[in-house]
Amino acid sequence: MRPLPGRWVYHDGEFTPFAEVRLPPTTQGLHYGTGVFEGIRAYATPGGEGAHLFRVQDHYRRFLRSCRLLRIDPGLTADELADVTVELLRRNGDQGDVYVRPLAYKLGLLPGTPPGVNLGGVSDAVTIVASRLGAYAPPGGLRCLISSWRRPSRAALPVQAKVTGAYVNNALAVEDARAAGFDDAILLNEAGQVAEASTANVFVVRGGRLATPPADADILPGITRDTVLTLAAELGLPAAESPLHPADLLLADEVFLTGTGIGVTPVIEINGRPIGAGAPGPVTTHLARRYGQTVRAEREDTHGWLTPVQAGCEEAVANA
Ligand SMILES: Cc1ncc(COP(=O)(O)O)c(C=O)c1O
């Protein structure tokens, strides 16, 4: 993420100006990738009446599950973390689109713990930053490369958790894809099945039916993926969680990605081959519109997914 001068950050149990946050170079999470994170978005309503965090409790429930795997105790419940996030946005005076990045990580060895790649005997820390966000995905759809890097198996890493160190795999895949002129990478799992994109889940549409790799295909089970499966059911679109192979992508009528950052974004080309007509397809367009209406509170919130961000009388950060 970019530095955020002039913004408030939640760090070490307090709201602190960004410029005052100090992390020791001995921070264990920096050395061993022993941290977990989330990506959460708040969306402004089209009329500018306010903003809502989308599925913030679900994100923090996943955050806490990731923490448990790494023996990190953030000391707050999902509801408390959601409250802290609302207060962070209020302090920053955010009423537009915002990206929230909570991070929990191993900090330093506790007295009596021998040096090493430990999880136990190491103190924990939580930092939450929030940045204002413009359009994220390129309009018109993505061009993707099927990466030669494989997504690690859940036998090697807890792939269902958002563990910082595991993202080296994603970064290598993105780097190669961008160097070859593509927008993003799609990774296969070790069995050669489609897993997911660098920070998004993959869907295909064929004959009006949706399919997405199942949880045991070594994916991160995305909250946007779950949202899209729910919206598809409401729209009467048949959808299956079933293993996909590279040829299923190339033969699909439509392919799209889902993620907190990119929402529902069409893939128009894979490995230089056009997908379907090589332009965003009707099912993707329909789901993307429905998703946009859902996150922007343009439809009734029947699932309790939206948390209002109260407008605050923001306190200026001293060094802004
Ligand atoms: C590796 C990976 N897969 C999938 C996703 C999509 O998950 P979500 O929809 O919960 O943002 C993300 C983003 O968080 C991710 O980093």
The answer, yes or no, to whether residue 160 has pLDDT greater than 50, is yes
Q: What is the mean pLDDT of residues 278-297?
A: 98
Q: Inter-axis angle of helices 78-91 and 56-69, to 10 degrees?
A: 120
Rounded to whole angstroms, what are the CA distances from 191 to 147, 182, 258, 271?
14, 24, 22, 20
Burial 116-133 (b: 16+ CB within 10 A, else e): eebeeebebbbbbbbbeb
Does residue 231 register a pLDDT over 50?
yes
What element of type H or E holds 309?
Answer: strand 306-309
**What pLDDT shows up at residue 320?**
37
Instruction: Render pLDDT for 13-41 as a digit per residue (tens, 0 to 9).
Output: 999 999 999 999 999 999 999 999 999 99
- Which residue owns the Cα nearest ligand 1 atom 15? 199
CATH fit for domain 142-295, picks 3.40.50.11860, 3.40.50.1100, 3.40.50.720, 3.20.10.10? 3.20.10.10
Q: Are 100 and 85 in contact (CB under 8 A)?
A: yes
CB of residue 197 inside a 6 A radius of ligand 1: no
Gyration radius of the chain over CA positions: 20
Cα(19) to centroid of ligand 1, in Å? 29
Architecture of domain 8-132: 2-Layer Sandwich (3.30)
pLDDT score of 286 more than 70: yes
Q: Would you say residue 318 has pLDDT above 50?
A: no
Report the pLDDT value the prediction gives residue 139, as an integer from 0 to 100. Answer: 77
Which pLDDT band holds residue 312 (cuts at 50, 70, 90)?
A: low
pLDDT band at 134 (very low <50, low <70, confident <90, very high): confident
Which residue is closest in CA terms to ligand 1's atom 7? 222
Q: Is 187 in the pocket of ligand 1 (CB under 6 A)?
A: no
* Centroid of ligand 1 to alpha carbon of 161 (angstroms): 10
Q: What is the mean pLDDT of residues 120-138?
A: 91
Would you state the pLDDT for residue 315? 52
b/e 236-252 (16+ beta carbons within 10 angstroms → b): ebebebeebeeebbeeb
- Asked if domains 8-132 and 142-295 share a fold, the reply is no
Quote the ligand 1 centre to 199 CA distance (angstroms): 5
Classify 106 as helix, strand or coil.
strand
List, in sequence order, every residue forming a beta bridge with 52; answer none if it has no partner: 43, 308
- Using the mean position of ligand 1's atoms as its centre, give its distance from the Cα of residue 261 in Å: 8
Grade residue 138 by pLDDT with cuts at 50, 70 and 90: confident
pLDDT band at residue 313 using 50, 70 and 90 as cut-offs:
very low
Q: How is the chain split into domains, by residue range?
A: 8-132, 142-295
